[in-house]
């Protein structure tokens, strides 16, 4: 019978980590119906019809801490 320390640990699958990072999250802009946000790396996010979608961790962090944005319920 194998001991606990003889059982190999699973190796994280990088594809799964990428999939988690790219789950889009939608936010509502409470101040503007249309605007462009510029991130520190030069990428932009466009607000259209008072909504914007974050697709990576940097975008998500920006929108989470910005007082004009609120996360939209995903229906789950």
Decide if 62 contacts 38 (C-beta within 8 A). no
> Per the domain annotation, does 10 fall within a domain?
no
Rounded mean pLDDT, 57-63: 92
Name the pTM for this structure.
Answer: 0.67
Q: Any idea how long the chain is?
A: 76
Say whether 70 sits in a helix, a strand or coil: strand
Q: Of 5-9, 14-18, 54-58, where does the model show the most confidence?
A: 54-58
Decide if 60 contacts 54 (C-beta within 8 A). yes
- List, for residues 20-31, the tens digit of each pLDDT value: 456 899 999 999
Domain count, the chain: 1
Which pLDDT score, from 0 to 100, does residue 68 have?
Answer: 97
Nearest of 1, 66, 19 to residue 39 by alpha carbon? 66
Which pLDDT score, from 0 to 100, does residue 18 have?
Answer: 45
> Per the domain annotation, does 30 fall within a domain?
yes
> Per the domain annotation, does 19 fall within a domain?
no
Which pLDDT score, from 0 to 100, does residue 20 have?
Answer: 47
């Amino acid at each position: 019978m194998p001991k606990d320390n003889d059982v190999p640990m699973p190796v994280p699958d990088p594809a799964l980590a990428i999939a988690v990072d790219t789950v889009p999250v939608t936010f509502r802009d409470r101040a503007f119906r249309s605007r462009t946000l510029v991130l520190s790396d030069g990428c932009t996010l466009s607000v259209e019809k008072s909504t914007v979608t974050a697709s990576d961790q940097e975008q998500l962090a920006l929108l989470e801490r910005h007082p004009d944005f609120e996360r939209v319920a995903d229906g789950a």
